[in-house]
């Protein structure tokens, strides 16, 4: 019986090694395929990926992130960050590139690598370190007690991404209800507050929400929605 156990363990080990080898071979193949393309190719592919029903594509979201992050940096409480040319250019680049890895072969096959792949490909294609780092860190915090973005570019992009998602979901009527929070909006709200505190930003959250809300309403039909009511609900939700 003891020897049989050893043989069984050996078979399990060999089986696991075979599976792992196959997955690593897949990863190498997908990586080489991805290397054939540039970011312009992936940006264009984002047009075919739905962000959420009636809220446009991931390309539309990237365009909003570019505007919202610039708006945050330009607010008086943003310490005039947007007046610094390097911050301006880093934000513009990172906001358009931060979702590109979602359409790469690597992330389609290995979803847990989103952000990681984006950072790596940005580095390989010569993007500034501030841009590649923000691509990775804009997802932070990903869970309770997670770290926060380490730069102003990362913090601002993280705030923009999360507030855009929350605003869009509220406009689409997908607010959390009771213990139900399928889009993790509460975690995103907490991340916004923590990032604002870390960056020591002191801007009017109402202005930011209204600006983001207006971007949605310029592109999509939300007739019948009380703008001021939704804006107040979003602010209350974030700071609750």
Write down the pLDDT at residue 85: 66
Q: Report d(CA 27, CA 35) in Å as an integer.
A: 12
Looking up tokens 């209350």 gives 236
Q: How does pLDDT run along the chain (240 residues), one tens digit per residue?
A: 445 555 567 778 777 788 788 889 999 999 999 999 999 999 999 999 999 999 999 999 999 999 999 999 887 655 556 556 688 899 999 999 999 999 999 999 999 999 999 999 999 999 999 999 999 999 999 998 999 999 999 999 999 999 999 999 999 999 999 899 999 999 999 999 999 999 999 888 999 999 999 999 999 988 878 889 999 999 999 998
The residues, any chain, with a CB within 8 Å of residue 14's CB and separated by 6 or more, are none
**What are residue 181's phi and psi, to 5 degrees?**
-150, 65
pTM summary value:
0.90
Write down the pLDDT at residue 78: 52
Write down the pLDDT at residue 232: 97
Write down the pLDDT at residue 105: 98
CB contact at 8 A, 75 and 204: yes
CB contact at 8 A, 65 and 157: yes
Write down the pLDDT at residue 20: 84
**Could you tell me which residues are beta bridge partners of residue 122?**
none
Write down the pLDDT at residue 15: 72
Looking up tokens 């923000």 gives 134
The residues, any chain, with a CB within 8 Å of residue 176's CB and separated by 6 or more, are 183, 185, 186, 237
**What are residue 219's phi and psi, to 5 degrees?**
-105, -25
3-state secondary structure the chain: CHHHHHHHHHHHHHHHHHHHHHHHHHHHHHHHHHCCCCHHHHHHHHHHCECCCCCCEHHHHHHHHHHHHHHHHHCHHHCCHHHCHHHHHHHHHHHHHCCHHHHCHHHHHCHHHCCHHHHHHHHHCCCCHHHHHHHHHCCCCCCCCCCCCCCHHHHHHHHHHHHHHHHHHHHCCCCCECCECCCCHHHHHHHHHHHHHHHCCCCCHHHHHHHHHHHHHHHCCCCCCCHHHHHHHHHHHHHC
Taking only the tens place, the pLDDT of each residue in 170-198 is 999 999 998 999 999 999 999 999 999 99
Write down the pLDDT at residue 76: 61
Write down the pLDDT at residue 104: 99
- Which token pair is 158? 């993280």
């Amino acid at each position: 019986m003891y020897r049989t156990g050893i043989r069984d363990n050996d078979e399990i080990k060999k089986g696991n090694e075979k599976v792992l080898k196959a997955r690593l071979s897949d990863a190498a193949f997908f990586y080489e395929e991805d290397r054939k393309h540039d970011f312009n190719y992936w940006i264009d592919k984002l047009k075919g990926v739905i962000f959420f029903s009636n809220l446009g594509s991931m390309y539309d979201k990237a365009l909003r992130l570019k505007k919202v992050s610039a708006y945050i940096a330009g607010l008086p409480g943003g310490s005039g960050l947007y007046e610094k040319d390097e911050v301006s250019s880093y934000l513009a680049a990172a906001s358009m590139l931060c979702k590109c890895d979602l359409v790469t072969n690597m992330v389609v096959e290995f979803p847990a690598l989103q952000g990681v792949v984006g950072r790596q490909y940005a580095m390989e294609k010569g993007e500034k370190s501030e841009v590649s780092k923000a691509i990775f860190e804009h997802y932070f915090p990903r869970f309770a007690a997670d770290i926060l973005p380490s730069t102003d570019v990362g913090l601002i992009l993280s705030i923009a991404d999360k507030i855009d998602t929350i605003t869009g979901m509220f406009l689409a009527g997908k607010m959390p209800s009771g213990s139900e929070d399928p889009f993790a909006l509460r975690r995103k709200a907490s991340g916004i507050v923590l990032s604002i505190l870390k960056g020591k930003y002191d801007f009017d959250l109402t202005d930011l929400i209204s600006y983001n809300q207006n971007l949605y309403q310029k592109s999509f039909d939300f007739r019948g929605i009380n703008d001021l009511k939704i804006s107040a609900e979003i602010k209350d939700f974030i700071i609750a």
